[in-house]
Amino acid sequence: MTEKFESLNPATGDVVGTYPIHDEADVAAAVARAREAAVWWSTLSFAGRREYLDKWNAVITRRVMQLANVSHEETGKPHGDAQLEIMIAIDHIAWAGSHAEKVLGPKKVSSGLLMANQAATVEYRPLGVVGVIGPWNYPVLTPMGSIAYALAAGNAVVFKPSEFSPGVGTWLADAWTEIAPEHPVLQVITGLGATGAALCKAGVNKLAFTGSTATGKKVMAACAETLTPVVIEAGGKDSIIVDSDADVPAAADAALWGAMSNAGQTCIGMERAYVHERVYDQFIRELKAKAKAVELSAEPGGLVGPITMPSQLKVIASHIADAAARGGTFVLGGPNSVGDRYVQPTIITDVPEDSIAITEETFGPTLTVKKVSSMDEAVELTNATRYGLGASIFAKERGMELARRVRSGMASVNSVMAFAGVPSLPFGGVGDSGFGRIHGADGLREFTYAKAITRQRMKPLLAAMTFERTAKTEKAAAQLMTVLRGRATTMPKFKK
């Protein structure tokens, strides 16, 4: 008999649902079904696939409140946040479906001088079956960055949602089954880490992982056994940088929302703030005043819900304790901010840069704030992390310059996390935040392989790629190259 596990409501501990723990054989069977479905799916035109994606998206859109409720119950996030997340995901599905042909379809490219007799074409072909392993913190949006783009590119998907949000994953796959019952192009498998590990070994053509850096390393190691390519969307330790000419109330608002929304359980959430000394006091005042309104409760009206994963409470507590022990000053909250299920929003200043509250991902509603004397210092401290996911910069003059200097895959100038909602922008990180991209044109190409084709249009002027090549041809080719490429003005001059 198949073993089961329970999904619990983190606010109450109530059982939300019971789901099967799929084992290796179940996962292999799902991948085999997907492989067959992928053959059908890949033969559809881009327009044909778009039609299905639009139908699926319409089901999600019409029942957004139902899906938001499952997400609310499983993760504890406020209804409004769950709804906003799904809205952004809906936009991504629509973008992926409507842009796939333009991004991936055949394109003529220049064939160069030597191969001028050839017509050259590049196109992006689907890989086959893509395995998607997702986290629980944005249980719709984060996996959707892989699922929608992989589907639009012509692949079938086997999705393993987090054990903390199996209901959301199942809901999405059920919605697909409703619109294409005979074609399991999107399937869900549920279970704990072992089910994810089985998916890595099941012979999928690519594995898209979103989750912690530690698990990402395990996924990559497992996939290396079969040379299965991976996308790794892992953790972050993003900062908000506030320059002296910034709109300080707006920066404080963004810092607060970026740090505390979703109870701080956001990969691209703000965990550190570096604020120019000229506006530091004002920033702290604004932050304090705005933070008073942030209520702890998963119920309607509450802005900050419980911590979804009980084991994370210990991590958050250890970061707060280290900051306190190392001389940190609490602007909001205190050493006892961590409760049984909820964490009081906590803002700490004067935390040494080598405290674990600064060096490691906290994944809770906390923010450290440091006064800096220049933007060079802000950038240097921001970049002194092994992560490199996103960043937020508040500045009038130097916003774009600072955004470019931060070592991260993404940045928002004068807003926070905005890039995640722009479907045409690639999403992903550097360093311990992972590699590969979801969203946008890069996100579509991520789930394909490039296919290069030449078609000979006429005989070559110089028949060089044949055993019938003559010495005359070789000489002519050398002369041609000298004329074409041998005229660099910076030729080294040798002394006699």
- Catalytic residues, which ones? 233, 267
Q: How many whole angstroms from its chain centre is CA 342?
A: 26
Q: What tokens were used for 333?
A: 């909250």
Cβ atoms 130, 156 nearer than 8 A: yes
Compute the least distance from the CB of residue 97 to ligand NAD, in Å. Answer: 21
210 versus 346: smaller Cβ distance to ligand NAD? 210
Instruction: Name the residue whose CB lies closest to ligand NAD.
Output: 196
- Least separation in angstroms between residue 212's CB and ligand NAD is 3
Backbone angles phi, psi at 50, to 5 degrees: -60, -40
Strand partners, 347: 332, 367
# residues contacting ligand NAD (CB under 6 A):
33
Q: Does 85 bind ligand NAD (CB under 6 A)?
A: no
Both structure tokens of 15: 């059982």
Check binding of 211 to ligand NAD (CB under 6 A): yes
**DSSP letters for 34-72:** HHHHHHHHHHS-HHHHHHHHHHHHHHHHHTHHHHHHHHH
Q: Does 193 bind ligand NAD (CB under 6 A)?
A: yes
Q: Which stretch binds ligand NAD (CB under 6 A): 45-53, 213-221, 253-261, 480-488?
A: 213-221
- Tell me: does residue 134 bind ligand NAD (CB under 6 A): yes
Q: Is 160 in the site for ligand NAD (CB under 6 A)?
A: yes
Q: Which of 30, 31, 157, 197 binds ligand NAD (CB under 6 A)?
A: 197
Site for ligand NAD contains 136 (CB under 6 A): yes
List alpha helices for 44-192, DSSP H: 46-62, 64-75, 79-104, 141-152, 166-179
Q: How far is CA 113 from CA 110, 117, 472, in A?
A: 9, 9, 19
Q: 305-334: which residues touch ligand NAD (CB under 6 A)?
A: 309
Closest contact distance (angstroms) between CB of 200 and ligand NAD is 6
* 210 near ligand NAD (CB under 6 A): yes
111 and 138 Cβ atoms separated by less than 8 Å = no
Q: What CA–CA distance (Å, rounded) separates 36 from 202?
A: 15
- 267 touches ligand NAD (CB under 6 A): yes
Q: 20 or 249, CB closer to ligand NAD? A: 20
Among positions 170, 215, 355, 362, the unique one binding ligand NAD when judged by CB under 6 A: 215
3-state DSSP assignment of residue 312:
helix
Q: Do 175 and 66 meet the contact criterion of CB atoms below 8 Å apart?
A: no
Minimum distance, C-beta of residue 90 to ligand NAD, in the bound complex (Å): 18
Angle between helices 213-224 and 193-200 (to 10 degrees): 40
Query: Which residues bind to ligand NAD, rule: CB under 6 A?
Result: 133-138, 142, 160, 162-163, 192-193, 196-197, 200, 210-212, 215, 218-219, 233-236, 267, 309, 361, 363, 389, 429, 433-434
